[in-house]
């Protein structure tokens, strides 16, 4: 890859970190953030569990806790979790620039995409929260970037890195294990015509990332019910997969989850501010997202549009299984994807404008393309 896009991505990420870091300590630490801080203190004291018990049935995934502990070791204190979240949100901005540049090969589209994500209220808010909400997003973007590189260049290395990124994301958030399985299934469907041995090898990389969890549950079987047993597959369903399948297709279950899923995509919530509450997304991005969807459907390479639209639809699904309305903290990974669609919408709009100007110039030109002043064919 050329150096210029990498440098630009770093600059955009650095600018985002400065912006998100401003007034990072202004709000008091919440109870949810305190849970991560307490667990990080245990890490700082030498504890190294895979999952962290908070109270009763409440457990934490490891990535955010260990990142908090690392920042705490560097002197972050109770703001360590917020610093880690802001750094990862800055990485999101750099990565969406690289992905938009990879798709369109236009620097300005990448910059527009990055600026949209940088200014998205929900992304900004989650970036200043010392929890695990933002942690899946950069890993999803690493998967997407490498998957697109594989589709474009047929690089086994890129496919393996895409699998590894999704595998690591399994430990980033309670909604991540289910999301990772769905996204890797999407990868296999989109790339089904590629070399099957490569797809199998990458799938083994993805499966290998689950081995630490398997080892943990082998040694601490009693922890499964309150961790993966709530986030991924219920313990009873793991013992009886047929009963689990029947529970998933139960009309009442499907109805509740469909209602929550639609509630997540409700435009009145996503784009229009409620009383004393900012909308999660910029209203300006709404028409751009619509144009971006059109652009994806018109892509010469259908696989690019399929993986972008598919990931946007998939990322909120796991959150709907956790039972909370407007569950943005469980689906933060969709925010960069929507910013990417906004960037592609800007690209499509620019194409429409340039095409219109070209048609206007053709209409104003003399007949047969001759210049009336110089009697020379127009170039």
* SS3 of 324-356: CCCCHHHCCCHHHHHHHHHHHHHHHHHHHHHHH
Give the three-class secondary structure for 132.
coil
**Beta bridge mates, 377:** 370
**Are 122 and 147 in contact, with CB atoms under 8 Å apart?**
no
Do residues 305 and 299 lie in contact, with contact meaning Cβ atoms separated by under 8 Å? Answer: yes
Q: Is 374 exposed, middle or buried (0-12, 13-18, 19+ CB in 10 A)?
A: exposed
Q: In the 8-state DSSP scheme, what is residue 221? A: G
pLDDT in tens, the chain (379 residues): 678 889 999 999 999 999 999 888 888 999 999 999 999 998 878 878 999 999 988 999 999 999 999 998 887 788 999 999 999 999 999 999 999 999 999 999 999 999 999 999 999 999 999 999 999 999 999 999 999 999 999 999 999 999 999 999 999 999 999 999 999 999 999 999 898 999 999 999 999 999 999 999 999 999 999 999 889 887 766 676 776 666 667 777 788 888 889 989 999 999 997 777 889 999 999 999 999 999 999 877 789 999 999 999 999 998 888 767 788 889 999 999 999 999 999 999 988 888 766 666 666 655 444 333 333 333 3
Q: How far apart are CA 68 and CA 280, in angstroms?
A: 25
Q: What rounded mean pLDDT belongs to the chain?
A: 88
Q: What CA–CA distances, in Å, run from 373 to 23, 62, 363?
A: 63, 74, 17
The pLDDT of residue 351 is 86
Residue 362: the pLDDT is 62
> Can you tell me which residue has the tokens 């109270």?
55
Residue 77: the pLDDT is 85
In sequence order, what are the residues at sequence separation of 6 or more whose Cβ sits closer than 8 angstroms to the Cβ of residue 25?
79, 82
**DSSP state letter for 304:** H
The residue written with tokens 């949100």 in the block is 89
**Rounded alpha-carbon distances, angstroms, from residue 50 to 59, 146, 210, 227, 308:** 10, 27, 12, 11, 32
What letters, b where the CB count within 10 A reaches 16 and e where it falls short, cover 217-242?
A: beeeeebbebbbbbbbbbeebeeeee
- Model pLDDT, residue 241: 73
State pTM to two decimals. Answer: 0.91
Greatest alpha-carbon span in the chain: 88
Task: Specify the pLDDT at position 359.
Answer: 64
Residues 6+ apart with CB under 8 A from 321: 175, 178, 257
Please name which of 173, 138, 33, 17 lies closest in space to residue 86, comparing C-alpha atoms. 17
Supply 348's token pair.
């499509």
Q: Is 367 helix (H, G, I), strand (E, B) or coil?
A: helix
Helix (H) or strand (E) holding 54: strand 52-55
Nearest to 119 by CA among 159, 155, 92: 92
DSSP state of 274: B
What is the model's pLDDT at position 376?
Answer: 34
From CA 112, how far away is CA 66, in angstroms rounded?
33
Phi first, then psi, for residue 58 (nearest 5°) are: -90, 115
């Amino acid at each position: 890859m050329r150096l210029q896009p990498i440098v630009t991505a770093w600059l955009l990420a650095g600018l985002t970190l400065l912006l998100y870091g401003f007034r990072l300590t202004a709000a008091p630490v919440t109870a949810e953030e305190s849970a991560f801080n307490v667990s990080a203190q245990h890490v700082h004291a030498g504890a190294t569990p895979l999952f962290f018990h908070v109270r009763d049935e409440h457990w934490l995934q490891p990535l955010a806790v260990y990142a908090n502990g690392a920042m705490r070791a560097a002197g972050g204190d109770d703001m360590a979790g917020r610093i880690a979240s802001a750094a990862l949100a800055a990485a999101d901005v750099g990565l969406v620039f690289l992905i938009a540049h990879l798709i369109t090969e236009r620097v300005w589209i990448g910059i527009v995409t990055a600026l949209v994500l940088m200014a998205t209220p929900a992304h900004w808010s989650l970036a200043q929260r010392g929890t695990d909400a933002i942690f899946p997003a950069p890993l999803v973007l690493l998967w997407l970037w490498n998957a697109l590189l594989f589709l474009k260049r047929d690089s086994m290395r890129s496919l393996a890195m895409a699998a590894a990124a999704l595998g690591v994301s399994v430990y980033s958030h309670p909604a991540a294990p289910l999301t990772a399985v769905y996204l890797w299934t999407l990868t296999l469907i989109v790339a089904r015509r590629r070399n099957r041995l490569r797809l199998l090898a990458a799938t083994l990389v993805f499966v290998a990332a689950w081995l630490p969890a398997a080892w943990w549950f082998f040694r601490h079987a009693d922890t499964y019910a309150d961790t993966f047993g709530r986030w991924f597959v219920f313990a009873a369903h793991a013992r009886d997969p047929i009963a689990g399948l029947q529970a998933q297709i139960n009309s009442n279950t499907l109805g509740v989850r469909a209602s929550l899923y639609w509630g997540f995509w409700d435009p009145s919530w996503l784009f229009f501010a409620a009383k004393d509450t900012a909308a999660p997304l910029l209203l300006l991005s709404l028409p751009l997202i619509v144009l971006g969807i059109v652009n994806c459907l018109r892509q010469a390479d259908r696989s690019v549009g399929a993986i972008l639209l598919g990931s946007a639809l998939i990322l909120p699904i796991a959150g709907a299984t956790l039972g909370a309305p407007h569950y943005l903290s469980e689906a933060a990974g969709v925010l960069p994807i929507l910013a990417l669609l906004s960037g592609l919408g800007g690209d499509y709009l620019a194409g429409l404008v340039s095409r219109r100007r070209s048609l206007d110039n053709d209409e104003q030109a003399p007949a047969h393309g001759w210049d009336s002043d110089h009697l020379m064919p127009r170039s």
